[in-house]
Amino acid sequence: MSLLTIEGLTKDYPGVRANDGVSLSIAPGEIHALLGENGAGKSTLVKMIYGLVRPDAGRMTLDGRPYAPAGPAAARAAGIAMVFQHFSLFEALSVAENIALGLGPATPMRGLARRIAEVSAAYGLPLDPDRAVGTLSAGERQRVEIVRCLLQGPRLLIMDEPTSVLTPGEVETLFATLRRLAAEGVAVLYISHKLEEIRALCDRATILRGGRVVATCDPRTQTARSLAEMMVGAVLAPPARAGRAGTRTLLELRGLTLPAPGRFGTPLSDISLTLREGEILGIGGVAGNGQEELLAALSGERRAGPGQILLAGTDIGPLGPEARRGLGLCTAPEERLGHAAAPDMTLVENALISGLVRMRLARAGIIRWGAAAEFARAIVAAFDVRCAGVDHAARSLSGGNLQKFVIGREILQRPAVLAVNQPSWGVDAAAAAAIRRALVDLAASGTGVLVISQDLDELMEISTGFAALVGGRLSAVRSTAGLTVDEIGLMLGGAAEGGDDAAA
């Protein structure tokens, strides 16, 4: 017996068919994985199920009856709830207000706090209804979303990449909650590209590639490698690891401390590290623990106190981004569109954004547009950036290609030190592999590379050293050789306790 059946769903966006005749069925009490690379069409599919997007063709049935939700409210009324990857929460509002917004208009505000307390106690998801959501950690925010869903008594719970923001410990708690829900008869549609998780949690998996269903299987009988090959459609070759670190210290942080940038930012406290030539230092941790703030402190967007940041022995703490680039420190922030690149500007103009100083793209304030165009074309050629030409807007590139451009722009400047945040976030496997390869090659040429990433597999693959950033504090650096997943979990967990103290 099937709870939700999908037949031949198709959705077109300008220039791309996001879903092409997708069919699947989910039974009550089943934890069903939806597996696929970024851009495989997972998000579009669940948005159609949740009523956010109307399919162009195909049909859905719920309990055997036709199901075509006019909007999320209709989907919720039909018993379908969803936890978004990027939380749909309101930072300035309280937990109780946030939850009330996700429930139907019939829900009285009175008594809601008590029901929140009941549900969160029953499922082991502690929450204070009166706290502003902006003050909560990523894990706590997810709890708000889950409790909001549970209060609706859903029959199908959709979870979009739920573990990308959780520590290993929090992942275990989440899995326990989901298993309990499944035992009570709730169906779970679990979207992820993390193969080990799916093997540990799910009963069935539907694998999407290029908008089509390419396989359906029992993930428990598959290996991570076989799942990956179904997902990517090719046999993957792991890149070579970086060479050995040299002895010369390039970058040194000495007790870097910065207050939180805004009401809901993370303060950096007493961060110390050294980065040597040829070294790739991986900094792991869940987003929202100071990654963005650390990169801003390195790029010079936020100035540090004197003596806190040294580049080859020179104090660069009080210097701005251009002066730091001039001395050899290049950076690439996480957000491609709007931060690393200006969306509506051309690739030439975007090349100028960070290439100005080192590539000498201006003389006496007059821009050398010819040289800038040449630099942009060099990036495009060296990093295989697929685009219609360097005179087109950054926004017109795909995520992977723009990321290659952004990383390539810094690498081609031959920096002494390169710091990147989430270098392969949200890009396809081929682009991610190319970016990692380029970082490894750069280190081999003597540059010190600092990689901040949530993707532990990525860090284990390319970095020589590893440290965890939790609550704005950095753990001691360990060599990645011989480092186990349990030890990493401990590093993330150990630092987390310190972070919680700081936040309380």
Partner 1 sequence: MLRLEPRPEPSRAMQALTPLAAVLLTLLLGGLLFAALGKDPVAAMRVIFVDPLLDGYSRTELLVKGTPLVLIALGLSFGFRAGVWNIGAEGQFIMGALAAGAVALAFHDVPGLWLLPLMALAGILAGLGWALIPAILKTRFNASEILVSLMLVYVAEQFLIAMVSGPLRDPQGFNFPLSRNFHDSALLPLVLEGSRVHLGVPVTLIAVALAAFVSRRHLFGFRSRLLGEAPRAAAFAGVEAGRMTVICLALSGAAAGLAGMFEAAGPAGQLAPSLPVGYGFTAIIVAFLGRLDPLGILLAGAVMALTYVGGEQAQYVLGIPAAANETFRGMLLFALLAVNLLVHYRLRLVRRAR
Partner 2 sequence: MDLAALDPLLLLASLLAAATPLIWAAMGELVVERSGVLNLGVEGMMIIGAIAGFAAAVATASPALGFLAAAAAGAALALLFGLLTQILLANQVATGLALTMFGLGLAALIGQPYSGIKPPPATRLAGQIDVMVPLGLALAGAVWWFLARSRPGLILRAVGENHDAAHALGYPVVAIRLAAIAFGGACAGLGGAHLSLVRVPQWTEGMTAGAGWIALAIVVFASWRPARVVLGAWLFGGVTILQLNLQALGLGIGSAWMSMAPYLMTILVLVLISAGRSRAALGAPACLGRVFDASG
**Residue nearer to partner 2 on the CB measure, 53 or 444:** 53
Q: How many residues belong to the site for partner 2 (CB under 8 A)?
A: 22
User: Shortest Cβ distance from residue 101 to partner 2 (Å)?
Assistant: 5
Classified as helix, coil or strand, 285 is coil
User: Shortest Cβ distance from residue 72 to partner 2 (Å)?
Assistant: 3
Is residue 15 involved in binding partner 2 (CB under 8 A)? Answer: no
**Residue nearer to partner 1 on the CB measure, 254 or 303:** 303
Q: Among residues 7, 17, 52, which one has the least CA distance to residue 211? A: 17
335 binds, options partner 1, partner 2, none, Cβ within 5 to 8 A by partner type: partner 1
User: Shortest Cβ distance from residue 163 to partner 1 (Å)?
Assistant: 28
Looking from the CA of 116 toward its CB, the CA atoms found within 13 Å total 27
Return the range that interacts with partner 1 (CB under 8 A); candidates 113-121, 202-210, 364-372, 438-446: 364-372
Tokens 């949690």 belong to residue: 201
Return the range that interacts with partner 1 (CB under 8 A); candidates 100-108, 183-191, 391-399, 445-453: 391-399
Please give the Cα distance from 133 to 85 (Å, whole number).
16
- Radius of gyration of the chain, Cα coordinates, nearest whole angstrom: 24
Kindly tell me which residue out of 97, 140, 229, 301 binds partner 2, with binding defined by CB under 8 A. 97
Is residue 262 involved in binding partner 2 (CB under 8 A)? Answer: yes
Is residue 52 involved in binding partner 2 (CB under 8 A)? Answer: yes
- For residues 20 and 26, the answer to whether their CB atoms sit within 8 Å is no
Beta-carbon contacts of residue 184 (< 8 Å; ≥ 6 apart): 29
Return the range that interacts with partner 2 (CB under 8 A); candidates 81-89, 181-189, 212-220, 314-322: 81-89
Please give the Cα distance from 282 to 155 (Å, whole number).
41
Is residue 344 involved in binding partner 1 (CB under 8 A)? Answer: yes
Beta bridge pairs of residue 209: 212
Return the range that interacts with partner 2 (CB under 8 A); candidates 22-30, 86-94, 228-236, 413-421: 86-94
**Strand segments (E) across 259-365:** 268-276, 280-284, 309-311, 314-315, 329-332, 362-363
90 binds, options partner 2, partner 1, none, Cβ within 5 to 8 A by partner type: partner 2
Q: Are strands 80-83 and 156-160 parallel, antiparallel or unpaired?
A: parallel
Kindly tell me which residue out of 118, 172, 322, 487 binds partner 1, with binding defined by CB under 8 A. 322
360 binds, options partner 2, partner 1, none, Cβ within 5 to 8 A by partner type: none
Convert 194-223 to b/e letters by CB count within 10 Å (16 or more is b). bbebbbebbbbbbbbbebbbeeebebeebe
Is residue 203 involved in binding partner 1 (CB under 8 A)? Answer: no
Report CA torsion sign: 306, 310, 311, 315.
positive
Instruction: Give residues in contact with partner 1 (CB under 8 A).
Output: 14-15, 54, 56, 299-301, 320-323, 325, 331, 333, 335, 338-345, 349, 352-354, 356, 362, 365-367, 369, 392-393, 395-396
